[in-house]
């Protein structure tokens, strides 16, 4: 990372939205820096193990292959990015970003591209058994469940897709949903119903995950109340939606009831000179294409704004 401390644009996050914005900042003559808390850029793309077929003009076998294409573009523009960054505080009104290592960076404009994270069940055993039977990705860890039992929790596309993928290797998949019907798209529901080793359990919630050194069972309760029931399993994965990574900003920016940052059609937030891009501001269309588009839109809008101001 460069030693400079002042930028036209400071970008918080390092996914597709952030990198798209950084490329467009460079193209429009604005200095920018990308700050990513994880060890690598493009974080969630690294967990897409299925083929990507709906990104216009590009087909990739998985997220890693798409990252390789994105990295070539970023390298060509000489993007200034730093990973493994810990942010202590952000002042949206002044554009100041204070890092845990003592540095303070300032942007004339801030871009928030912090994305989303998997929603947790927040039940006993969920933290204790991470990496000990709790799966991070059904597609990426299919081989680890060969001949074993898996519990999948959720009722949407992600849960149904993971159940289908894991059923290719697992002996038995229990797909558990708290409501009385799945909400996944029809094609997924039909495939689930036609897969003999997937058992659909509705109106049921997970109360606890247990075992000794590895997941061995889950305890369930009826959604409408009732006694607990223990189900044996070797693996567990929950796909119950996502939560926006907006905690640093909820006291400074307008958000909706779920924590998504509210923006206008130019990606502007409720505070002047602050833009939000990608999934953290987009509950309707959390896609790669939308993330890249909002990154571009914000860079164009910020360029017009800064051009109208006196140089600093």
* 8-35 pLDDT per residue, tens: 999 999 999 999 999 999 999 999 999 9
Structurally, the chain folds into a number of domains equal to: 2
Q: What is the pLDDT of residue 192?
A: 97
Q: Does the pLDDT at position 312 exceed 70?
A: no
Domain boundary at 186, 212, 238, which? 238
Residue 126, domain member (yes or no) = no
The predicted model gives 213-242 an average pLDDT of: 95
Residues 183, 207 contacting (CB under 8 angstroms): no
Q: What is the DSSP letter of 136?
A: S
Cα separation, 10 vs 21, in Å, equals 10
311 band by pLDDT with thresholds 50, 70 and 90: low
229 and 247 co-located in one domain: no
Q: What is the pLDDT of residue 261?
A: 98
Q: What is the pLDDT of residue 4?
A: 62
Cα separation, 38 vs 101, in Å, equals 15
Residue 181's domain comprises 142-238
Cα separation, 33 vs 14, in Å, equals 10
148 and 220 co-located in one domain: yes
Residue 132, domain member (yes or no) = no
Q: Does the pLDDT at position 1 exceed 50?
A: no
Furthest C-alpha separation in the chain: 68
Q: Does the pLDDT at position 81 exceed 70?
A: yes
165 and 111 co-located in one domain: no
300 and 250 co-located in one domain: yes
Residues 79, 275 contacting (CB under 8 angstroms): no
Q: What is the pLDDT of residue 185?
A: 93
233 and 272 co-located in one domain: no
Percent of the chain whose predicted confidence (pLDDT) is above 90: 88
Domain boundary at 238, 258, 281, which? 238
Tell me if residue 208 falls in helix, strand or coil: strand
| Both tokens assigned to 153 | 């929790």
Instruction: Give strand pairing partners of 52.
Output: 60
As a whole number, the mean pLDDT across the chain is: 94
Taking the model in full, what pTM does it have? 0.90
Q: What is the pLDDT of residue 49?
A: 81
Q: Does the pLDDT at position 286 exceed 60?
A: yes
CATH number assigned to the domain comprising residue 110? 3.50.50.60
Cα-based angle 108, 33, 56 (whole degrees, multiple of 5) = 105
Tell me if residue 186 falls in helix, strand or coil: helix
| Both tokens assigned to 48 | 């897409």
CB atoms within 10 A of CB 57: 4
Cα-based angle 68, 14, 155 (whole degrees, multiple of 5) = 90
Q: Does the pLDDT at position 57 exceed 80?
A: yes
Q: What is the pLDDT of residue 310?
A: 62
């Amino acid at each position: 990372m460069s030693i400079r401390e002042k930028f036209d644009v400071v970008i918080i996050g390092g996914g597709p939205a952030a990198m798209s914005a950084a490329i467009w900042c460079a193209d429009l003559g604005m200095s920018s820096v990308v700050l990513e808390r994880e060890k690598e850029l493009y974080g969630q793309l690294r967990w897409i193990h299925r083929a990507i077929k709906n990104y216009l003009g590009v087909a990739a076998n998985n997220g890693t292959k798409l990252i390789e294409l994105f990295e070539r573009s970023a390298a060509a523009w000489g993007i200034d990015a730093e990973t493994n960054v810990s942010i202590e505080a952000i002042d949206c009104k002044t554009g100041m970003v204070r890092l845990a290592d003592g540095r303070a960076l300032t942007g004339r404009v801030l871009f928030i591209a912090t994305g989303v994270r998997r929603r947790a069940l927040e039940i006993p055993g969920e933290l204790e058994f991470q990496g000990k039977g709790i799966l991070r990705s059904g597609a990426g860890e299919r081989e680890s469940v060969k001949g074993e039992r898996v519990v999948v929790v959720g009722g949407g596309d992600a849960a149904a897709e993971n159940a289908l993928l894991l059923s290719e290797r697992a002996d038995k998949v229990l797909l558990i949903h708290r409501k009385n019907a799945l909400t996944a798209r029809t094609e997924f529901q039909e495939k689930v119903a036609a897969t003999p080793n997937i058992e659909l359990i509705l109106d049921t919630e997970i109360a606890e995950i247990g075992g000794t050194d590895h997941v061995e069972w889950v305890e369930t309760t009826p959604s409408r109340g009732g006694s607990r029931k223990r189900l044996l399993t070797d693996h567990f994965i929950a796909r119950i939606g996502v939560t926006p990574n907006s905690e640093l900003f909820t006291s400074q920016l307008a958000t909706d009831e779920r924590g998504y940052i509210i923006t206008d059609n130019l990606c502007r937030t409720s505070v002047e000179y602050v833009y939000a891009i990608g999934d953290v501001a987009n509950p309707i269309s959390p896609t790669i294409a939308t993330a890249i588009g909002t990154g571009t839109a914000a860079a164009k809008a910020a360029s017009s704004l800064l051009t109208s101001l006196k140089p600093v």
